[in-house]
Structure 1
Amino acid sequence: MTSYVALLRGVNLGKRQLKMEDLRRIAGDLGLENPSTYIASGNLLFASEKSETALKSALEASLAAHMGAPVGVMIRTAAEMAAVAAACPFDVPGNRAVAIFLDAPPPADAAEHAKNQANEEIALGGRELYVHYPDGQGPSKLGLPAAAKGTARNMNTVAKLAELAMGKA
């Protein structure tokens, strides 16, 4: 049995509301073991013997049916989540840096195609982009085309998800 984290894209923003109790129920209906959530931004922890691809497909289909619109899902094992937390290249407070989770490795030139970059720093990860927002993420106008289908979590959240997921192992 493998411990996983599913990161949902674009839920609980504006009218796209998903109750975490509904997310846990959906996970349970899919046969995922010990589903739990962390904060109300679409972070699901669970265990399964299924592959990442099968889990992503099943969760996206069930969430689309529930929400009436597509919901992107990024899946990481507990070990992968811990590696993402450890690999952050920025030695800054966790609320000033994010990991943007992607389905595939970011293009080597992802940072070169950034739009409206001010003082933000960008670094490439395995299947992530890391961004340091010295002035905070809220006022930033940074646009990263490579991140268009990804989902971001600040490094405090990434570290907590890694800790929780490792506890499910």
Structure 2
Amino acid sequence: MSRVEDKKIALLRGINVGGHRPVRMLDLKQIALDLGYFNIKTYLQSGNLLFQSDASNAQIEQDLSASLAAHYPFDIPVIVRDAAMWNQVVAENPFKGEDFDHKQLHVCFVQKSVPLQALLNPFKEKFAPDRLGCGNRALYIRYDGVSHRSKLNLQFLEKQLGSKCTARNWRSLLKIQSMLT
């Protein structure tokens, strides 16, 4: 029987976007298998890797990053969460109970542990009507329009937080959560 902390999600940033930085999911599965991970699944082509491992999240980030660097000529930031952390992110959604389009709510995962609320409070009003909420090592961004047109983007967040980030929309978060059971 597997423990919930053995179930992991690795989020790869910036792959397979508009034909740039291509990574085949079959190759990603093989890399994970070579690293000793098991029960490996992917979701979509955007770098969502689900698997089991008894290694720490930090160790997996390090090992997977190194293996990806050996296979690809471009940097691929990796952020790992275990199933318990994933469920916490879903539960902490500051916009739950509100009516919203799941494509307009994105969760931004932050690699380092940083004081999200303190660092981002000064910017909350600057990006209105987009809305920003903070959780535990995750930010919730509710876009008023199309996310790629917002100034509240990953580049801005990484600069303010001093950490690599990657985002997934709410629909993807819930689908990945269902795949963890």
TM-score, scaled to structure 1:
0.89
* Map of 1:130 onto structure 2: 140
**8 Å CA contact 1:99, 1:153 repeated in 2:** yes
Match among 9, 30, 33 for residue 28 of structure 1: 33
**8 Å CA contact 1:106, 1:128 repeated in 2:** no
Equivalent position SS for 1:109: helix
* Map of 2:152 onto structure 1: 142
Q: CA deviation at 1:30?
A: 0.4
Q: CA deviation at 1:116?
A: 6.6
Of all paired residues, the percent bearing the same amino acid is 37
**8 Å CA contact 2:21, 2:74 repeated in 1:** no
Q: Does 1:10 align with 2:7?
A: no
Q: Distance in 2 between matches of 1:98 and 1:106?
A: 19
Q: CA deviation at 1:151?
A: 0.2
Count matched residues.
166
Letter of the aligned partner of 1:29 in structure 2?
A: D
Q: CA RMSD in A?
A: 1.9
Moved over 6 A (4+): none
Q: CA deviation at 1:53?
A: 1.2
* Map of 1:153 onto structure 2: 168
Letter of the aligned partner of 2:14 in structure 1?
A: G
Q: Distance in 2 between matches of 1:160 and 1:48?
A: 21
Match among 94, 109, 112 for residue 102 of structure 2: 94
Letter of the aligned partner of 1:35 in structure 2?
A: I
TM-score, scaled to structure 2:
0.84
**8 Å CA contact 1:106, 1:146 repeated in 2:** no
Q: Distance in 1 between matches of 2:138 and 2:120?
A: 11
Equivalent position SS for 1:36: strand
Letter of the aligned partner of 1:105 in structure 2?
A: V
- Structure 2 regions of 5+ residues with no counterpart? none
Correspondence 1:105-116 to 2 at 5 A: 105-107=114-116, 108-113=118-123
- Structure 1 regions of 5+ residues with no counterpart? none
Q: In structure 2, do the counterparts of structure 1 residues 40 and 89 end up closer, same or farther at CA, with 3 Å as the change threshold?
A: same
Ranked by relative contact order (alpha carbons within 8 Å, sequence separation 6 or more), the top structure is 1
Q: Distance in 1 between matches of 2:119 and 2:126?
A: 16
* Map of 1:50 onto structure 2: 55
